[in-house]
Amino acid sequence: MSEDEFAELVRDCPVLYHMTTEGSWLSIRRHGLWGTAALLDLFEVEGEARRLVEARRAASVRIRHPEHGGATIRDQKPLAERSLAACLEDGLRPADWYALLNARAFFSLTRARLLRLLNAGSYRAEAHDVIEADTASLVAAHRDRITLCAINSGFAARRAAPRGRSTFLPIADYPYAAWRAKRARGERVVELAVEPGVPDIAAHVRRVVRMRGGREIETLWRRG
């Protein structure tokens, strides 16, 4: 991706969206937004629970720390094990894919993608804290640790998109021109991820809102 192409992406997608469990914002503001592996490290989780990094989570998992309080690690219900195994390339196993996902904190690049997630399955009935981050600000601070993805990497059902080691690409290596020829604005990159997370997420947040489905319930925080 050239610098001009990247500038176009930021103009088209000026806000990054992260959906998290209701009540999570205060902890995230204090400790940062982390992928699963880094969150387990932060909460000093050891033993059998470390298997969360390389195994499918059929349900969300609650973890606690005497100083940090509680945190919820989301389920991975949209990843059907058999479908995932069939679509993996480069000799990857499902455990490898889970490890790749759990090494990153993920953002959607459009509100349409966010709403699709908020209305998926059991999420539709639940309230969620939604973090809206400034794309340009976050990328300027963490560009060297950012990867882009052209698919929903956390979904694998029937006819799942092929995926492998090149699914997550640094900004410079992402084939933006190829996707621009195939997709409309806002769909040329599906996910932006930061490895292992964003420790200073509060510095890049525009707004945090509590939502249920497509409805905003309340504003939790707004940059002045």
- Provide mean pLDDT across the span 143-149: 98
Q: Is the pLDDT of residue 50 over 90?
A: no
Give this prediction's pTM. 0.95
Compute the mean pLDDT over every residue in the chain, rounded to the nearest whole number: 95
Neighbours of 14 (CB within 10 A): 13
Q: In this structure, are residues 33 and 105 in contact, taking their beta carbons and an 8 Å threshold?
A: yes
- Provide mean pLDDT across the span 99-115: 97
Distance from chain centroid for Cα 148: 11
Helix pair 3-12, 135-142: axis angle to 10 deg: 140
Give percent above pLDDT 70 in the chain: 100
Residue 157: predicted pLDDT: 87
Q: In this structure, are residues 103 and 37 in contact, taking their beta carbons and an 8 Å threshold?
A: yes
